[in-house]
């Protein structure tokens, strides 16, 4: 780091008065002195652990990663590693540019409980799992897919505008005219009306355009349609997976809460130690008793309660 700082600033036309680094360089005082002599003003090297400077450092680091990703994306395109379906999609739907980066959105909820949204990213026609995101939609009452799609798009666009994250070349909504219409309203309201937007309706695999008009049907063999299907299906899979995880956690929480003596704190300690209710059931009483705040007496109560079969809605016993 010392060598890098000197290489960057010794011959620079201007040296900042404050340099922010993630780690403290060796011989910090010496570097400050050399740069001060070179620039004619004092230079301070800061390594913040918190506060505004720390947030500024994190934002700069994220921007550097994004710039690197953009360069890698451009290089990949030049080297011909982009799937031909990307170019086929641009041609088939007359998009303004090849959709190198596609974001797919879907909603998953069961009777309005534990609703979630998923955002998956495809780059060069392939999944970019490091960019996948899932969002909780608990603030929206009822199973309102239109509102949830709008909220998911809104939150994503705010991250793009406030954090400098990469905007997609195409947004794909798993749904029909209603979902696409709500997404379009959000895009326009936040100044992103220029972003291409499509919907893919499951029933007939019809492509829904954002400004009305007839839907588009591509041949089943079309690489463009197949790319959209892959993005849509991956968004659906990712949403379902997270939704099931939320429901499982909620069920585990409610079952532990029903046991006398197991409050929120002990529940958290147990789940942190064992990971799931199923793992607690398999543990021995001594293993459970070893958890902070449990002890032998409560471990016995807990073990007996979990070993009892649960009653199902039809009155039969559920051994799980």
pLDDT digits (tens, 9 = 90+) for 186-214: 999 999 999 999 999 887 899 999 988 89
C-beta neighbour count of 26 within 10 angstroms? 10
- Topology adopted by domain 84-243: Nucleotidyltransferase; domain 5 (3.30.420)
Pairing relation of β-strands 170-174 and 310-311? unpaired
Q: How far is CA 170 from the centre of its chain?
A: 17
Every domain of the chain and the residues it spans = 2-66, 84-243, 258-318
Name the range with the highest mean pLDDT among 202-206, 215-219, 275-279: 215-219
- Give the distance between the most distant pair of CA atoms in the chain: 84
Which pair of structure tokens corresponds to residue 169?
A: 């070349």
| Bridge partners, 174 (sequence order) | 200
Average pLDDT over residues 239-266: 73
Q: What's residue 108's pLDDT?
A: 84
Q: How confident is the model at residue 124 (pLDDT cuts 50, 70, 90)?
A: very high
Percent of the chain residues topping a pLDDT of 90:
51
Average pLDDT over residues 61-84: 79
Same CATH topology for 84-243 and 258-318: the answer is no
Q: Which CATH class is domain 258-318?
A: mainly alpha
């Amino acid at each position: 780091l010392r060598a890098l700082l000197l290489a960057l600033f010794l011959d620079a036309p201007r040296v900042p008065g404050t340099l922010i680094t993630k780690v403290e360089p060796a011989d910090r005082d010496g570097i400050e002195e050399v740069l001060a002599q070179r620039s004619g003003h004092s230079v301070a090297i800061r390594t913040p652990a918190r506060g505004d400077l720390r947030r500024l450092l994190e934002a700069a680091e994220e921007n550097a990663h994004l710039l690197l990703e953009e360069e890698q994306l451009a290089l990949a395109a030049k080297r011909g590693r982009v799937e031909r379906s990307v170019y086929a999609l641009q041609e088939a739907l007359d998009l303004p540019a090849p959709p190198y980066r596609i974001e797919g959105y879907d909603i998953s909820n069961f009777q309005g409980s534990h609703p979630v949204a998923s955002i998956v990213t495809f780059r060069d026609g392939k999944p970019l799992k490091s960019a996948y995101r899932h969002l909780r939609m608990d603030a929206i009452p009822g199973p309102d897919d239109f509102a949830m799609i709008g909220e998911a798009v809104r939150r994503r666009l705010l991250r793009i505008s406030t954090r400098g994250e990469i905007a997609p070349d195409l947004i794909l909504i798993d749904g029909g005219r209603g979902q696409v219409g709500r997404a379009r309203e959000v895009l326009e309201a936040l100044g992103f009306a220029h972003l291409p937007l499509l919907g893919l309706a499951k029933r007939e695999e019809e492509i829904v355009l954002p400004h009305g008009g007839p839907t588009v049907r591509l041949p089943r063999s079309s690489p463009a349609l197949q790319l959209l299907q892959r993005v849509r299906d991956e968004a659906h899979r990712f949403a379902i997976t997270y939704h099931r995880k939320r429901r499982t956690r909620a069920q585990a929480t409610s079952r532990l809460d029903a046991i006398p003596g197991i409050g929120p704190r002990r529940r958290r300690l147990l789940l942190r130690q064992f990971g799931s209710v199923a793992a607690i059931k398999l543990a021995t009483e001594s293993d459970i008793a070893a958890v902070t705040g449990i002890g032998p007496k409560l471990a016995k109560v807990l073990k007996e309660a979990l070993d009892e079969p649960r009653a199902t809605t039809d009155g039969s016993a559920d051994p799980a």
